[in-house]
Amino acid sequence: MNIFEIDGPCKLSGTVEISGAKNAALPIMAAAVLGNGKTLLESVPDIADIRTMFELLDSIGVKCKRLENGKVEVDASSIDNPVGDYDIVRKMRASFCIIGPLLARCGQARVSLPGGCSSFGHRPVDIHLKGLRALGAEISIENGYVTARVPEGGLVGTEIFLGGTNGPTVLGTANVLMAASMAKGTTVLEYAACEPEIQDMAIFMKKMGAKISGIGTQTLTVEGVDELKPVEHRIIPDRIEAGTFMVGAVMTQSQITISNCCPEHLRAPIDCLRQMGTRICVDKDSMEVSHTGKIRPAHLTTQPYPGFPTDLQAQFMAMLCLASGNSFITEKIFPERFSHVAELNRLSAEINKVGSSVVISGRETLLGAPVMASDLRASAALVLAGLAAEGKTIVNRVYHIDRGYEDIVSKLQALGAAIERKHIDD
């Protein structure tokens, strides 16, 4: 088993380059299935979730090959097994994105109900299936698998409302958009997710020949086409990785430069940090972040994009443990996403959970201790807390962070952090 050992408090300085966005790369790799031939993707992070997608695509007959400098070739010339097997799909929720393009390309699909981060609570795929059914797909669920078929007349465009209890569904939008791209006629997706990752996928699909308008809004209009072609595309930078390093600079009272990023994708976190006293100088594709002195408390509520992202909630919670006063965070996207609270409290934080909110009583210092990561973003929060804490922090179950952060130990070491990955016997 691998662990991270951190000796804090650390001071960071220098420049960190942000990798391609995991949450854009995964659905785009699924969308590559729509094109008969070889698609070339650039800036694809080398992380566990991407390797899982490689495994899934390989199992359906698509050949994936990692090239040099973050490039990946996806050869969808042949699909001979339109099945998303449980042993693969259970590892990662984004695997379910394969059902939409398989329906469009092959006319059928059999995909296991998804897995992923279990600490978020119940996350059904009912809106995915509602959208696919609205297009005419015949769907049944049996033995933990979703079986979907295109009727004799093909998929047919229609108006589909994609809203759920906690806002638009990101992966559901991706799935239905991919299926609609090759349906007959016009499809209008109302209350669609407009996250940058969905925008990037839609732009990629337009390069392939899809006719999509309204990109970046909550209404997407799709004119179905008969076929899509393979193309070349560069994945956008990972806004969540960039936000994580921004928080790291604040927590360690440091100044760092974050390169290869899209500041426009981080308007809500940037605004929040500035109100907390952080100095942020923004350029077109880079940011200089520095913080000295007290961290002002804050009131945050996670919301669909362009609101404050749920994927930065845990990191900001770790930072607010060091604020000069009481802070409040309300989780509107995944109301049960608070598994990191108990672990942060092990580091001498003072956090109290009340329903879907937490109250954080800021203190001057955190104290190192052994902690256990429970999901991807929670593990990042614990690493950040360890960088700021006095003494040694051991982060267990770091396979969670390996799912979404490319080479995070080396990046932090290059900034001056005293962090090491070590292997211990189970």
pLDDT tens, position by position, 329-376? 999 999 999 999 999 999 999 999 999 999 999 999 999 999 999 999
CATH topology (fold) of 22-234: UDP-n-acetylglucosamine1-carboxyvinyl-transferase; Chain (3.65.10)
Q: Can you count the helices (H) and strands (E) in the chain?
A: 14, 26
* DSSP bridge partners of 116: none
Does residue 360 have a known ligand-binding role?
Answer: no
The answer to whether 382 and 395 have CB atoms below 8 angstroms apart is yes
pLDDT of 84 strictly over 60: yes
- The whole-angstrom separation of Cα 200 and Cα 197 is 5
Q: What does each C-alpha distance from 125 to 50, 122, 162, 313 come to in angstroms?
A: 21, 10, 11, 23
CB 381 within 8 A of CB 318: yes
Say whether 93 counts as a known binding-site residue.
Answer: yes
According to the model, what pLDDT value does residue 342 have? 97
pLDDT of 37 strictly over 80 = yes
Alpha carbon distance 217, 292 (integer Å) = 38
**Looking at residue 115, what is its pLDDT?**
57
Average pLDDT over every residue of 296-315: 98
The single-letter code of the amino acid at 230 is P
Spatial CA neighbour of 18 closest among 280, 311, 236, 234: 236
22 appears as a binding residue in the annotation: yes
Mean pLDDT value across the chain:
96
Q: Is the pLDDT of residue 116 over 90?
A: no
Answer whether the bond into residue 124 is a cis peptide, omega within 30°.
no
User: In angstroms, rounded to a whole number, what is the distance separating the alpha carbons of residues 268 and 263?
Assistant: 10
Q: What is the mean pLDDT of residues 80-85?
A: 96
Q: What is the pLDDT of residue 123?
A: 54
* Domain 2-19+237-423 is found in CATH 3.40.50.720: no
Name the CA radius of gyration of the chain, rounded: 21
Catalytic residue ranges: 117
**CA distance linking residue 250 with residue 289, whole number of Å:** 8
| DSSP H or E run through 206 | helix 196-208
Q: Is the pLDDT of residue 387 over 80?
A: yes
105 is in an annotated binding site: no
Distance from C-alpha of 103 to C-alpha of 98, rounded to nearest angstrom: 9
- Residue extents of the structural domains in the chain: 2-19+237-423, 22-234
* Distance, CA of 55 to CA of 15 (rounded, Å): 33
Beta bridge partners of 259: 17, 286
> Do 2-19+237-423 and 22-234 come out as alike in CATH topology?
yes
